[in-house]
């Protein structure tokens, strides 16, 4: 049995303001006779499975449909089409059973700002018919870090601490599947790293985790990922497999004048795409015959100094950019 199984799930909103559809999967178009038909085969929506005990990442920018997907799977929204199960329970019929066994941390940490850390935790424990003492083992490692501030109101906590408290609250009833919707958005890199350490530990205890993030560098921390854009999955696989499927040669190029370098690289006929990547520019070359020293002499001819060209393995971000441009 899969922990989560989604089959052609779609959900679209028509926004009056933008006059466009947004959400998950392509919109279902009603034809003149009033019957529903799918606008094309992509309209089938998203399908994927999450194995038990897996960390599955949904990776994509804001507005890609991540939150809609989470809300459908956590039984908060009804899908337009498709079906899905969580722990084998149907998301529509058995929503009560699902609500008992999942933990959910929505995008905005939903804590009561005017209640203290302790009061928040106790409240969520009773909402799930349990006590803090009963499941303390599971949250111990996380909660201990914020315990010194247990009398502080949640509204006065820092971003990292709020995140830990929200996670403690989502874990308090020992869920078997944990849904974390953008838990690291707006959180600094140090707290983010710590948070992923915590998730690794939870995985060890057998909890299945579905997590979404807009940070591509977090992809490699998941067992498997789905890259999502404009309501559709670009790819589902393990991060190494996604990287292996990258079709082009990828070079990292540096020189003294990085902004001029970007322009010159883009003007090179061999360049498929070129983007800044930290301290170097990544350029994708589709012509396998094109050699490193050919590029070097091309750049030297344009007065670039201390040129460095390295062949590199792509990151998930390179792959995302490649796939999203198709």
User: Which residues, 31 to 60, sit near other proteins by CB under 8 A?
Assistant: 60
As a whole number of angstroms, the distance between CA 254 and CA 310 comes to 9
Distances (CA, A) of 315 to 218, 282, 322: 11, 10, 11
Q: Which stretch binds other proteins (CB under 8 A): 82-90, 127-135, 218-226, 244-252?
A: 127-135
Q: Which stretch binds other proteins (CB under 8 A): 208-216, 236-244, 245-253, 285-293?
A: 208-216
Q: Which stretch binds other proteins (CB under 8 A): 42-50, 98-106, 196-204, 294-302?
A: 98-106
Are the CB atoms for 148 and 157 separated by under 8 Å? no
* Site for other proteins, residues 232 to 251, rule: CB under 8 A: none
Number of amino acids touching other proteins (CB under 8 A): 76
Does residue 265 belong to the site contacting other proteins (CB under 8 A)?
no
Q: Which stretch binds other proteins (CB under 8 A): 25-33, 105-113, 234-242, 296-304?
A: 105-113
Does residue 110 belong to the site contacting other proteins (CB under 8 A)?
yes
Does residue 256 belong to the site contacting other proteins (CB under 8 A)?
no
Does residue 176 belong to the site contacting other proteins (CB under 8 A)?
no
153/302 with CB nearer other proteins: 153
Torsion sign (Cα): 131, 133, 135, 141: positive
* Site for other proteins, residues 294 to 313, rule: CB under 8 A: none
CA 326 centroid distance within chain: 20
Answer for which of 7, 21, 42, 63 binds other proteins (CB under 8 A) is 63
Closest CA to 258 of 241, 243, 240, 278: 278
What count of Cα atoms within 13 Å lies in the side-chain half-sphere of residue 164? 25
Closest CA to 4 of 206, 209, 181: 209
288/325 with CB nearer other proteins: 325
Does residue 206 belong to the site contacting other proteins (CB under 8 A)?
no
**3-state class (DSSP) for residue 102:** strand
Q: Which stretch binds other proteins (CB under 8 A): 23-31, 81-89, 272-280, 294-302?
A: 272-280
Query: For residue 251, what are its two tokens?
Result: 């070079």
Are the CB atoms for 169 and 111 separated by under 8 Å? yes
Answer for which of 39, 126, 241, 286 binds other proteins (CB under 8 A) is 126
145/294 with CB nearer other proteins: 145
As a whole number of angstroms, the distance between CA 31 and CA 14 comes to 16
Does residue 185 belong to the site contacting other proteins (CB under 8 A)?
yes
Does residue 158 belong to the site contacting other proteins (CB under 8 A)?
yes
16/41 with CB nearer other proteins: 16
Does residue 21 belong to the site contacting other proteins (CB under 8 A)?
no
As a whole number of angstroms, the distance between CA 112 and CA 110 comes to 7
Does residue 323 belong to the site contacting other proteins (CB under 8 A)?
no
Query: For residue 209, what are its two tokens?
Result: 């985790």
Alpha helices in the chain (DSSP H): 66-73, 95-101, 117-127, 136-146, 159-171, 189-204, 239-244, 258-267, 292-300, 316-324
């Amino acid at each position: 049995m899969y922990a989560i199984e989604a089959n052609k799930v779609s959900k679209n909103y028509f926004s009056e303001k933008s006059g466009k559809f947004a959400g998950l999967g392509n919109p279902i178009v009603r034809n003149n006779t009033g019957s529903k038909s799918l606008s094309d085969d992509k309209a089938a929506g998203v399908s994927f499975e999450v194995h038990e005990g897996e960390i599955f990442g949904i990776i994509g920018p804001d507005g890609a449909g991540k939150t809609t997907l989470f809300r459908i799977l956590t039984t908060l929204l009804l899908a337009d089409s498709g079906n899905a199960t969580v722990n084998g329970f149907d998301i529509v019929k058995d929503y009560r059973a699902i609500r008992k066994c999942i933990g959910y941390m929505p995008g905005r940490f939903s804590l009561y700002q005017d209640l203290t850390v302790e009061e928040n935790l106790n409240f969520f424990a009773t909402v799930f018919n349990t006590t803090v003492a009963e499941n303390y083992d599971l949250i111990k490692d996380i909660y201990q870090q914020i315990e010194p501030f247990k009398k502080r109101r949640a509204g006065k906590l820092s971003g990292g601490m709020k995140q830990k408290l929200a996670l403690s609250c989502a874990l308090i009833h020992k869920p078997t599947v944990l849904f974390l919707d953008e838990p690291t958005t707006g959180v600094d890199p140090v707290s983010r790293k710590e948070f992923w350490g915590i998730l690794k530990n939870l995985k060890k205890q057998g909890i299945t985790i579905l997590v979404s993030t807009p940070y591509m560098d977090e992809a490699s921390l998941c067992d498997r990922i789905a890259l999502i854009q404009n309501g559709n999955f670009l790819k589902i696989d393990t991060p190494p497999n996604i990287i292996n499927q990258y079709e082009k040669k990828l070079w990292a190029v540096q020189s003294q004048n990085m902004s001029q370098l970007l322009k010159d690289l883009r003007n090179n006929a061999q360049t498929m795409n070129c983007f800044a990547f930290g301290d170097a520019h990544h350029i994708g070359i589709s012509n396998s015959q094109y050699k490193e020293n050919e590029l070097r002499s091309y750049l030297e001819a344009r007065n670039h100094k201390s040129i460095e060209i390295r062949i590199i393995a792509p990151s998930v971000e390179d792959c995302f950019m490649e796939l999203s441009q198709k």
